[in-house]
Amino acid sequence: MKQKEIVTLQRSLLPDTEALLNKQIEMEGKSSAYYLSMASWCHMMGYANAAQYLYTHADEERMHMMKIFHYVNEAGGHAIQPEITGIRHNFHSLREIFELILEHEIKVTKSINNIVDHAFGVKDFATFSFMQWYVTEQREEETMSRRALELFDIIGEEGIGLWTIDQELGKLHSAANAGE
């Protein structure tokens, strides 16, 4: 009985919430690995700016993962280092990469929204408040992904199109970093 009381006092996270946060840790860890793999492909193919953009993005996703990791442990839960498998290494084109990123970010947004909804439902306002940072971050990341993808339609991929797109991705990357 004593043990039970101690456990109750030590933790502020409900098991359901902890499970959802651990799933999000896994999702951010996979995002990081996914973007690193994309960065490598771009680097190898000579898209230097796209590669830089994606190397940075991979680091940011790891930071997203670590923020939740610490939150879970500080709240008395147990953050789980996720298994990262099934990461794709080859892509058909630069455009495909940016289409995949947007699709992936939309999935992440849905998952974040689900946690926010859950936290509100169970009156876990600490987690609700903690997750607001992710809500804002997802809005920014989706906007960036859409703008990156628009470059392919605006510039076109023929001739020096892909080279120009890579240059513009570099500018988008610098602008995003300056805004932080």
Q: Which residues bind Fe ion (CB under 5 A)?
A: 28, 61, 64, 141
Provide the minimum distance between the beta carbon of 24 and Fe ion in the complex, in angstroms, as a whole number: 9
The answer to whether 147 touches 172, Cβ cutoff 8 Å, is yes
| CA gap 60, 63 in Å, rounded | 5
**Which of 148/162 has CB closer to Fe ion?**
148
3 state SS of 159: coil
Token output for 26: 């896994």
What one-character-per-residue DSSP string does 66-127 give? HHHHHHHHHTT----PPP--------S-HHHHHHHHHHHHHHHHHHHHHHHHHHHHTT-HHH
**Which of 64/118 has CB closer to Fe ion?**
64
**Which of 64/173 has CB closer to Fe ion?**
64
To the question of whether residue 74 is assigned a binding role by annotation, the answer is no
Provide the minimum distance between the beta carbon of 114 and Fe ion in the complex, in angstroms, as a whole number: 14
Instruction: Give the count of beta carbons closer than 10 Å to the beta carbon of residue 7.
Output: 10
To the question of whether residue 61 is assigned a binding role by annotation, the answer is yes
Provide the minimum distance between the beta carbon of 142 and Fe ion in the complex, in angstroms, as a whole number: 9
Residue nearest to Fe ion (CB): 64
Provide the minimum distance between the beta carbon of 68 and Fe ion in the complex, in angstroms, as a whole number: 9
**Which of 58/165 has CB closer to Fe ion?**
58
Which residue is listed with tokens 């946690």? 115
Q: Label residue 147 exposed, middle or buried (CB < 10 Å: 0-12, 13-18, 19+).
A: middle
To the question of whether residue 118 is assigned a binding role by annotation, the answer is no
**Which of 145/162 has CB closer to Fe ion?**
145
Provide the minimum distance between the beta carbon of 177 and Fe ion in the complex, in angstroms, as a whole number: 15
| Residues of each annotated binding site | 28, 61, 64, 105, 138
| Residues of each annotated binding site for Fe cation | 28, 61, 64, 105, 138
